[in-house]
Structure 1
C-alpha cells in the first residue's frame, strides 16, 4: 500500500478532493494531514474524513527532526503539498527527494516564488492582463516553485475576469487534475 501525507495551511479543498479520489482504493491511503496553522479549515475536513491530523509550529518544523521522523515512522511514500505556505527544510527535501509534489496556481515559471500564492497570484495575473493562467504540479526542491515540472493545465483569462474569477477557474483545474497526477506519480515511481 502506498501511503500519502498531505501538508496544507488553508481551507483544505485540494486535500479533500485527493482524499475523496483515493477513498475507494485499497492500494493508496491518505495516512496523515499536517498543518502549521491551528485554525486551518483543513483540520475540520480531515476530521470529517477520519484522517489523523498533526499540527506543528515553525520551530518544530525547522529546528527539529520530529516531522521527518514522524513521516518515516508512518512509512510515508509520498508527500503532497496542497496549499502549504512554508518552505520545506533542506533535510526534509533530501529525505523525500522525488517523493514530494506541490501544486502552484499559475503556469510556472511565471508568478512563482516567495509570497506568490493564492489570491496574490490571481491578482498578479489579472494586473498583467494575461490571456491565460493555469496550474503547475511539480516536484519540490529547496526553493519555492522551482522543482521539475510534472504537469501543467491552462485556462483562459478573459478581459472581464477579476482575481476571484481566475481563482474559480484555477480551483476547478486543481480539483480535477491534482488527484489524477498524484495517481500517475505513484504509478510511475518505485515507491
Structure 2
C-alpha cells in the first residue's frame, strides 16, 4: 500500500496499536525532509526501523518501508533503533540460540535419514552452532559470520524451524504416495 504521509496521519496510524497490519510503504510527498519527519512521527513510540535519509534535499518521492508489529506493542519502552519490530535486544540471546540449535539437532533426528530436509537442516544447524559457539562473546562477529541478521532474528528463525520440524513429522513428504496416479499429457 503506497500512501502519502498525510494519509498515514489521517488514517490515525500514528500512536495506535497496529496489531494485525502488514508492512506498508510510506512515500514522502514533497521532499526527503518529510520522510525524515515521518520517521520521527511514526516511531513515536518507535514502530519501525530507523532508516537513513538517502535522497537529496528537495528531491521528490523518497520512500521507506515501515515494519508494523503483528502483535501488541509495548508503548512504555522506547524502541531500539536498528532492531526489527517485534524483536527486542536480549542479553542472553546467544545462550538461547545455542540451546535452540542443540534442540533442533535433537529434534531433526526424528525425521527419516534419507530426507533431504533433514540433511539440509542438520548441515546448516551444525554450521551455525559451530560458529555461534566460536563467537559466543562477540555478537557482531557472530552476526557477520552467519550473515543472516541479528542474533535475535537467528533465534526467531530457529524457533520457526522447530515448529516446521513438528509439521514435517506429520506431513512426511519423503514418503511417496503409492496410490496416486500421475497424469500423462501427450501433445502432438
- TM-score bin, normalised by smaller chain: under 0.3
TM-score, length-scaled by structure 1: 0.22
TM-score, length-scaled by structure 2: 0.22
Structure whose residues are more often strand by fraction: 1
Q: Decide which structure has the larger Cα Rg and report it.
A: 2
Q: Larger relative CO (CA 8 A, sep 6+): 1 or 2? A: 1
Structure whose residues are more often helix by fraction: 2
